[in-house]
Amino acid sequence: MAKMTKSATISHLAAKTGLSKKAANQFVEELVNLAYKEAKNAFTIPGLGKIVLVNRAARMGRNPATGATIQIPAKRVVKFRVAKQAKVAILG
């Protein structure tokens, strides 16, 4: 199966829920916007996973082209932690 596009996802949700494609699209857009807004507090979609904001410490790295050692600064990153239910459903 090919990669599922946004329009294919919207069409599938509309067909399964009985909503119009426009309403399904609005729902998905609102869910995404809510996830962006609440990511700093950890946003959970039950059965799928959790979006969290993580602080990475500064560390030493290596430039692969030259082999020189470089200092990588500390930064904040967004991570998605897959729920156990999703892992079991996908991997068996």
Q: Are residues 30 and 55 in the same domain?
A: no
Q: Are residues 55 and 91 in the same domain?
A: yes
Same domain, 46 and 29: no
Residues 8 and 30 in one domain: yes
Instruction: Produce one character per residue of 40-60: b if its CB has 16 or more CB atoms within 10 Å, e if not.
Output: eeebeeeeebebbeeeeeeee
- Determine the Cα–Cα distance for residues 37 and 49; give it in Å rounded to an integer: 16
Condensed to tens digits (0 to 9), the pLDDT of residues 53-67 reads 999 999 999 999 999
- The verdict on 20 and 50 lying in the same domain is no
Per-residue pLDDT tens over the stretch 4-20: 899 999 999 999 999 99
The tens digit of pLDDT for each residue in 19-42 reads 999 999 999 999 999 999 998 889
**pLDDT at residue 1 in the model:** 55
Range of the domain at 4: 1-38
Number of domains in the chain: 2
SS3 call for 49: strand
Tokens 């050692």, residue? 69
pLDDT for 92 equals 87
Which pTM was predicted?
0.75
First to last CA, the chain: 19
